[in-house]
């Protein structure tokens, strides 16, 4: 019995899925249907012969980079806000360093947790 990867299973079912796809953006639809990012969708759709422009791929890359920069900016803003309010240190892992272990390793509130806390308090 042949052991097929998830990618192979996606590619095998894609041609039939495309025939029934009614949306406007094949890459976006593929990405949602198969739970892959849009660049992976572009690559895999090209593998089965779908023509996707280089320009569209560049736009995706630029969009993903802009989102990454936005997230970094948000982290920095949270870090600055916390430092102003509490005087806590931060680093690349923790938005707020509460203290240090006996071995000298920091512990505190990670950025993801701080972002979640910030999102929850925004609506109050």
Residue pLDDT tens, the chain, 124 long: 455 688 888 888 888 899 999 999 999 999 999 999 999 999 999 999 999 999 999 999 999 999 999 988 888 887 777 767 767 777 888 888 888 999 999 998 888 888 887 776 655 4
**What six digits make up the tokens of 28?**
């976006």
* Shared domain check, 77 and 124: yes
Count of domains observed in the chain: 2
Which are the contacts of 100, defined by CB distance < 8 A and separation ≥ 6? 106, 107
* Bridge partners for 106 per DSSP: 100
Torsion of CA 67, 69, 74, 78, to 10 degrees: 150
**What six digits make up the tokens of 15?**
């041609």
Does 65 fall in a domain? no
Does 81 fall in a domain? yes
* Shared domain check, 76 and 110: yes
């Amino acid at each position: 019995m042949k052991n097929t990867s998830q990618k192979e299973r996606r590619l095998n079912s894609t041609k039939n899925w495309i025939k029934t796809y009614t949306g406007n953006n094949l890459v976006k639809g593929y990405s949602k249907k198969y739970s892959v990012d849009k660049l992976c969708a572009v690559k895999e759709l090209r593998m089965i012969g779908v023509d996707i422009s280089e320009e569209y791929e560049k736009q995706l890359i630029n969009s993903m980079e802009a989102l990454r920069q936005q997230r970094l900016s948000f982290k920095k803003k949270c870090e600055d806000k916390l430092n102003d309010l509490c005087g806590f240190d931060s680093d690349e892992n923790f938005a707020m360093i509460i203290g240090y272990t006996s071995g000298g390793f920091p512990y505190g509130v990670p950025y993801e947790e701080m972002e979640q806390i910030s999102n929850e308090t925004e609506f109050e």
